[in-house]
Amino acid sequence: MNKKILIVTAVLYGLVMLSSCKKYLDVKPDDKFLESQLFSSKVGIESVLNSIYLQLPNSPLYGENLSTTAVELFAQQYNYSASAYSAFSYYNFNDPSVVPVIDTIWSSSYNTIVNINKLIANLAVYPGVVSKAESDIIAGEAYALRAMLHFDLLRLYGPVYSTHPQVSAIPYYTVATPDAQPFLNAADVMVKILADLHTAEGLLAADPIITLGKQEVLQNDGNDFLRFRNLRMNFYAVKALEARVQLYAGNNAAALAAAQNVINSGAALFPWSDPVAVNAGGNSDKVFSSEIVFALQNLNMYSQFDATFVSANSVLAPSDFRLQETYEVQTGEGVNDYRYRSQWGGVLYGIMRQFLKYTDVTDQTKTFRYMQPMLRMSEMYYIAAESETDPALALGYLNTVRYNRGLSNLPDGTDINAELLKEYRKEFYGEGQLFFYYKRTNASMIPDGSGMDDYSFQYMRDSYYVVPHPQY
């Protein structure tokens, strides 16, 4: 009898052991991470921030749509006879080729914003995992990136700000939540963008770029995460973004102050490109890397670019006439322009030149490889020139850039805004800024990329400038 009781007890004990072990069910996935795992290590937190920098240069965002394709097509930078893209050039936003693109810019931006919001929130939930100094830098970059994404959503999907600041634009997310946030009007969005930039500026006050510079060499000492500051949303990038935002908001004085801040304190960090480097043949620094305040490192850059501009069935390029007109080749200016000389290839099919800005170089050790420009010094000079009330000073800013592009100085009395338009067209090919320049200035007619003569224009209206956001 005792033996039987023993057996039954043993079995019951076995049953309990079998079934109640909580630890047994605590399985950690090996192909993904739980939030608590990730935020309990420095490497984990850094990788979350880095994932933002990896998402931004993907093709739905700054890798293509917001740099080389969609927004450039809207700005009539290319010959729309390339049929795959013609609907973009016609602002036919309901076309099946356009809808997925404007949807993906929208949803990818907000998806990146969720990641940013999660990061910001979790830095507070898991304190002390990284040092206070590093935490501030990570948070500062995150706030500024959140502002940048919302700003570009506002510029693309929002109203023409200069005329309709009170029109409903986009929702502004400061928390990661499944509950949809309300659409705010453009002016309110602008307030939130500037607030985030202000927060970022404060958090980045001790950015190593201020004391140690860009640090474009890896040391493998465990601190590399805070090097290559020009590939990160650094302190000056925040100021430069602020200048861009303030100008868009029409706050010229504030824009000027921010631009001057970057020009003055960042001059040594972001020097003008050496013409020798720019014209170095197979190793030409076609993106003018030294002047870039903030770039994304896009490892898919050359393949993405190749697919659109080199081996595609319909290669994107402006008509040769339009290109020559843009760079003022007829007047003799263009042939000396470093940008024209380095960024454009020979005539293709007898009608157009190939865009070379993002083609690879021979020397694979060059640090400027894979740099996708987001903010550059020249824009600070343009902003300063546009918002400076003293015409002489304004012309000075403009001529500084022209000098560094191999162009002659413009005389006093030049129409600054007309020249600035020319500069934006030359400087930002493939960088996605021109459409927003047109939208900011509410230009009523813009030169079209397929134009064959001086009378070829695209007439603009609000419905072309305001890209409809997805309805769900």
Partner 1 sequence: MGLWTFFAFLLPNRRHLTETLLIMKLIVILILGACLQVSARGYAQTVTLSEKNASLEKIFREVKKQTGYDFFYESKLLKEAKKVDITVSHASLEQVLTICFRDQPLSFSIVEKTILVKPKPVPEFAPPEETAAPPDTVRGHIVDEKGNPIVGATISVKGTSKGVSTDANGNYSIVTRGKAVLVISYVGYATQEITPGSRKMLNIDLKLSIISLGEVVSTGKMERKMESFTGAVLKVSGDELKAVGNENIIQSLKTLDPSFIVVDNNSQGSNPNNLPTIELRGKTSLSTQGVKDVFSGDPNLPLFVLDGFESDLATIVNLDMNRVASVTVLKDAASTAAYGSKAANGVVVVETKRPVKGKLSVSYTADFRVQVPDMNSYNLMNASEKLQFEKLAGRWHVGWPSFDEGLDSLYNQRLLAVKKGVNTKWINIPVRTGFNNGHSLYVSGGSDELQFGIGLNYKKDDGVMKGSDRQTWGGTIDLRYRYKRLNIYNKLYLSGYNFNESPYGSFSTYAQTNPYFTPLDSNGQVSRYLDQSPYFYDTIKATNPLYNADLPSKNYTNNFGITNNLALIYSVSNHLRVEGALQLQKDITTTETFVSPQNTMYDQTVFNQKGSYTNNRADNFTYRTNLGIVYGNTFNGLHQLTANLRGELEQDHNTQVGFDAVGFPVGSNGNPAFASGYSPYGRPTAASGIYRRSAVSASANYVYDNRYLFDASYDLDGSTAFGSNRQYTTFWSVGAGINLNNQFHLDKNLFSLFKIRGNIGAVGNQSLGRFPNVSVYQYNTGTNIFGQGTQLQSLANPNLQWQNTKTTSVGTDIALWKGRFSATLNAYDKKTDPLVVVVNLSSTTGLSNYPTNEGVMDTRGLEAMLRYSPIYNVASQVVWTIGITGSMVKSKYERFGPDGLASLNKEAQAANSLSRYIDGNSPDAIWAVPSLGIDPTTGFEVYKRKDGQSTFEYNVDDAVVVGNTRPKVEGVITNNVNYKGFTIGINLRYRIGGDQFNYALFNKVENIGESNINQNFDKRALYDRWFKPGDVAKYKNINIGSGTGVYDGLAFSSSLVTSRFVQKENDLIGESINLGYQFINKPWMNGIGLKVLSFNAYMNDIFHWSTIKAERGTDYPFANAVSFSIRASF
CA distances from 163 to 74, 254, 441 (A): 20, 20, 10
Closest CA to 136 of 49, 214, 40: 49
CB of 471 to partner 1, least distance (A): 8
Q: What is the 3-state secondary structure (H, E, C) of 237-290?
A: HHHHHHHHHHHHCCCHHHHHHHHHHHHHHHCCCCCCCCHHHHCCHHHCCCCCHH
Of 227 and 376, the one with the shorter C-beta distance to partner 1 is 227
| Collapsed DSSP state (helix, strand, coil) of residue 374 | strand
Is 20 or 389 the residue whose CB approaches partner 1 more closely? 20
- Interface residue with partner 1 among 74, 228, 305, 397 (CB under 8 A) is 228
Q: Which residue, 44 or 430, has its beta carbon nearer to partner 1?
A: 44
Is residue 202 part of the contact set for partner 1 (CB under 8 A)?
no
Q: Which of residues 278-307 bind partner 1 (CB under 8 A)?
A: 297, 299-300, 303
Which residues, numbered 343-372, are part of the site for partner 1 (CB under 8 A)?
A: 370
Give the distance, in angstroms, between the CA of residue 61 and the centroid of all CA atoms in the same chain: 8
Q: Among residues 100 and 202, whose Cβ is nearest to partner 1?
A: 100
Residues 5-64 that bind partner 1 (CB under 8 A): 5, 7-9, 11-16, 18-22, 24-27, 29-36, 38, 44, 46-55
CA distance 455 to 125: 60
Quick one: which of 459, 435, 346, 450 has its CA closest to 78?
450
**Residues touching partner 1, count (CB under 8 A):** 74
Question: Minimal distance in Å, beta carbon 181 to partner 1?
Answer: 7
Which of 142, 263 has the CB closer to partner 1?
Answer: 142
The interface mask with partner 1, positions 125-164, x = CB under 8 A, is ----------------------------------------
Closest CB 207 distance from partner 1, rounded Å: 16
Q: Which is nearer to partner 1, 131 or 303 (CB)?
A: 303
**Per CB under 8 A, which of residues 203..222 are in contact with partner 1?**
218
Smallest distance, partner 1 to C-beta of residue 353, A: 24
Q: Are 207 and 29 a contacting pair, CB within 8 Å? A: no
Largest CA distance in the chain: 114
Judged by beta carbon, residue 211 or residue 311, the one nearer partner 1 is 311
**Distance in Å, CB of 23 to partner 1, minimum:** 10
Task: Using the minimum distance from each CB to partner 1, give the nearer residue, 231 or 377.
Answer: 231
Backbone phi and psi for residue 20, each to the nearest 5 degrees, phi listed first: -110, 5
Nearer to partner 1, 54 or 257 (CB): 54
Q: Shortest Cβ distance from residue 315 to partner 1 (Å)?
A: 15
Span 84-123, contacts to partner 1 by CB under 8 A: 103, 106-107, 109-115, 118
Residue 9's CB is within 10 A of a number of other CB atoms, namely 10
Among 95, 224, 363, 462, interactor with partner 1 by CB under 8 A: 224
Contact 296, 145 (CB under 8 A): no
CB of 106 to partner 1, least distance (A): 6
CA atoms of 458 and 463, how far apart (whole Å): 13
| 8 A C-beta contact, residue 184 and residue 232 | no
The minimum distance between CB 61 and partner 1, in angstroms, equals 12
| CA nearest neighbour of 278 among 343, 362, 372, 354 | 343
Strands 168-171 and 183-185 come out as: antiparallel
Strand 457-459 with 352-355, pairing? unpaired
Beta-bridge mates of residue 319 = 352
Min. distance of Cβ 48 from partner 1 in angstroms?
6
Q: How far is the CB of 222 from partner 1 (least distance, A)?
A: 12
Considering the complex, what minimum distance in angstroms separates the CB of residue 62 from partner 1?
A: 13
Q: Which stretch binds partner 1 (CB under 8 A): 4-12, 128-136, 276-284, 357-365?
A: 4-12
Q: Is 142 exposed, middle or buried (0-12, 13-18, 19+ CB in 10 A)?
A: buried
C-beta closer to partner 1: residue 294 or 327: 294
Match 């302190």 to its residue by tokens. Answer: 235
Q: Which of 70, 92, 179, 198 binds partner 1 (CB under 8 A)?
A: 179
Nearer to partner 1 among residue 115 and residue 342 (C-beta):
115
Shortest separation between residue 37's beta carbon and partner 1, angstroms: 8
| Between 18 and 268, CB nearer to partner 1 | 18
- Secondary structure class of 210 (helix, strand, coil): helix
Sign of CA dihedral 67, 73, 74, 79: positive
10 Å CB burial of residue 465 (0-12, 13-18, 19+) is: buried
**Alpha carbon 79 to its chain's center:** 24
The correct pick among 161, 173, 248, 381 for binding partner 1 (CB under 8 A) is: 173
